[in-house]
Amino acid sequence: MADIAYAKIVRDGLWHNNQSLVALLGLCPLLATTTSATNGLGMGIATTAVLLLSNVTISLIRRLVRPEVRIPVYVVVIASFVTVVELLMKAYFHELNQVLGIFIALIVVNCTILGRAEAFASKNPVGAAAVDGLSIGIGSTAALVALGALRELLGQGTLFAQAHLMLGDWARVLELELVAGFHGALAAILPPGAFIGLGLLIALKNVIDKRLARKAEAVPVAPAQPAQAG
């Protein structure tokens, strides 16, 4: 693998192999924390940080680790980074930590991270692993924010409420209240709303993919290579 197809890694991470919408990995944090767009963003950033750190580390040590103990080693690496991220959040984003609290520790068992360690980082050089971690992380963050925004809008009629707790006072411009006094559809905030919302997002992605594929077919000078399998 002389030259690495960075563009493909990015495209896969963000869209074609989006861990939340295609691979359907890491659903526990996705469903549990997305009661608002702000929560989704916070969880997404924390996950991305862990993913980037663990991918880089595992890629660096990939020749060192014997196959018999690779999974325990990955788990140790991931668990250490999650604890570090948790401590940093408590120190610097105390209020957000109170909201996300327990779910941060659960990043350890997010299969996306172990999955990328095993499937990608352990077989690729550091640069590619870093790009992969970042792309996968941003792809998952996008899904978290989208689902959070959807549920918050339907359930509460607001968007990015309390974003200033995480991002500082400037973020108040993001905070949006659609209709004053609109209390929303309770179901969207409750757990079933998470499943329904996720289903809708996956359906939306599939519709977009189909449209794109049809468009690609319609163009006569399309390259012989068939479109990527979604």
Site for another protein in 13-52 (CB under 8 A): 35
Q: What SS3 class is residue 158?
A: strand
Least Cβ distance, residue 58 to another protein (angstroms):
11
Can you tell me which of 5, 60, 87, 203 binds another protein, judged by CB under 8 A?
87
- Count of residues that interact with another protein, criterion CB under 8 A: 30
Check: CB of residue 55 under 8 Å from CB of residue 117.
yes
Separation of alpha carbons 19 and 133, rounded Å: 11
Among the residue ranges 41-49, 59-67, 121-129, 196-204, the one whose residues contact another protein (CB under 8 A): 59-67
Q: How many residues does the chain have?
A: 230
Closest by CA position to 19, among listed 105, 148, 141, 108? 141
Please report whether residue 72 would count as binding another protein according to CB under 8 A. Answer: yes
Q: What SS3 class is residue 180?
A: coil
By beta-carbon proximity to another protein, the closer residue of 7 and 179 is 179
Please report whether residue 190 would count as binding another protein according to CB under 8 A. Answer: yes
Please report whether residue 79 would count as binding another protein according to CB under 8 A. Answer: yes
Please report whether residue 102 would count as binding another protein according to CB under 8 A. Answer: no
Least Cβ distance, residue 162 to another protein (angstroms):
8
By beta-carbon proximity to another protein, the closer residue of 69 and 216 is 69
Please report whether residue 179 would count as binding another protein according to CB under 8 A. Answer: no
Q: Which residue has the tokens 């079933």?
A: 192
> What are φ and ψ of residue 179, in 5° steps?
-125, 125
Can you tell me which of 66, 102, 168, 225 binds another protein, judged by CB under 8 A?
66
CB crowding 16-42: b at 16 or more within 10 Å, else e? bbbbbbbbebbbebbbbbbbbbbbbbb
Please report whether residue 60 would count as binding another protein according to CB under 8 A. Answer: no
Contacts of 100 (CB under 8 A, 6+ apart): 33, 39, 42, 43, 46, 89
Site for another protein in 113-172 (CB under 8 A): 155
Among the residue ranges 57-65, 124-132, 140-148, 212-220, the one whose residues contact another protein (CB under 8 A): 57-65
Closest by CA position to 82, among listed 119, 24, 29? 29
Please report whether residue 189 would count as binding another protein according to CB under 8 A. Answer: yes
Question: Which residues are at the interface with another protein (CB under 8 A)?
Answer: 35, 61, 64-66, 68-69, 72-73, 76-77, 79-81, 83-84, 87-88, 90-92, 94-95, 98, 155, 183-184, 186, 189-190
